[in-house]
Chain A
Amino acid sequence: MKSAVTTVVSAADAAGRFPSMSDFESVKGSFDRAKARLEAAEKLASCLDKFTNLAVDAVYQNGSYEQTNKDKCVRDIHHYLRLINYCLVTGGTGPLDEWGISGMREIIRIQLLPTAAYIEAFIFIRDEIKISDVMSQQAETEFKGLLDYLINALA
């Protein structure tokens, strides 16, 4: 799975060379950012249920979506937030790409679920929930970056 380290190792292996000084620099660069990522992952893991429920309740309370889909929406939002938690740990978008985004559009369409509701829920998490209450600003930036990535992929 793609991460800063595996990308560097793959490139070195393709060239048949040992890791070089610039490889070490790039690995080190990713480690320097790792603290914020890991904090975001930790805090997100503890708030996963809370964020999911807040978002889905907000989206479904105005009645523009069929209430029967609500529990499926809860399940999927929870799933996506878990994948974001994984992305924060890996430091790349690998888990979302491989397990969440490829094939996703087809599955959502087949189940006749409204994609718009998902997008609305993620936008709610990004804009309405006070994420800064639970994590530091740097961690929040990492988390929101991935939310944006997911919203763009769904749209």
Chain B
Amino acid sequence: MLDAFSRTVVTADAKGAAIGSEDLADLRKYVADANKRIDATLAITQNVSCIAADAVAGMVCENTGLTQPGGHCYPTRRMAACLRDGEIILRYVSYALLAGDPSVLEDRCLNGLKETYLALGVPTSNAIRAVEIMKIATVAIMTETNTGRKMFKGINSGSGAQCQDIAAEAASYFDLVIEALS
């Protein structure tokens, strides 16, 4: 597993070069944005059930056959598995966001996920739709562009508008999940 720092190290070692001023600029930004990054991660961890449940509900609403007898979310045991997987994906996205590097998500969550779903008969197109909704919801909560009240309490006073860059980074991690399932 790598983070933003060790990713730079591994890249530099492949070239056999020491890490100088140019490479350090990105890391300094990562350090400077630490509070925003923690706030953005809190936006996920404080709303896990909400994000996952909404995404699965949205997926079912668009495809009502899923919860009917014979559908992939019938009986409730399979619906529960679906909610659980939504939370697991969110958990790995929150790790990747905190580390500033997708390696933990790729190694521990996405590697073999599609194969597992195919073997279990989970329809990946529906799974992808649920991930898309999670992405939209997460970004909205992070940047405080969701309708209604502010959904998370960060550790610094900054507003969600300052989380724009990091929300874009979080969105890219959800895109990796979608890519892995496609």
Contacts and interface: CB of A to CB of B under 8 A. Distances in A.
Interface residues of B, number: 38
Interface stretch (A33-41, A108-116, A126-134, A142-150): A33-41
Contacts of A24: 38, 41-42, 98, 155
Given A42-B24, A86-B19, A28 B38 contact: yes
Interface in B120-145: none
A19 B6 contact: no
Contacts of B20: 42, 45-46
A67 B98 CA distance: 50
Tell me the interface secondary structure of chain A in the complex: helix
Nearest to B108: A13
B34 A9 contact: no
Nearest to B17: A82
Given A19-B94, A82-B18, A10 B1 contact: yes
Nearest to B99: A5
B81 interface: no
A38 to B, nearest CB: 5
Contacts of A90: 5-6, 9
B63 to A, nearest CB: 28
Interface of A: 1, 3, 5-6, 8-10, 12-13, 16-19, 23-24, 27-28, 31, 34-35, 38, 41-42, 44-46, 48, 81-82, 85-86, 89-91, 94-95, 99
30 contacts: A1-B1, A1-B10, A5-B100, A6-B1, A6-B6, A6-B104, A8-B98, A9-B95, A10-B1, A13-B91, A18-B44, A19-B45, A24-B41, A27-B34, A28-B34, A34-B27, A34-B31, A42-B19, A42-B21, A45-B19, A46-B21, A81-B18, A86-B12, A86-B13, A89-B8, A89-B24, A89-B27, A90-B9, A95-B9, A99-B13
Interface of B: 1-6, 8-10, 12-13, 16-21, 24, 27-28, 31, 34-35, 38, 41-42, 44-45, 48, 91, 94-95, 98-100, 104, 108, 155
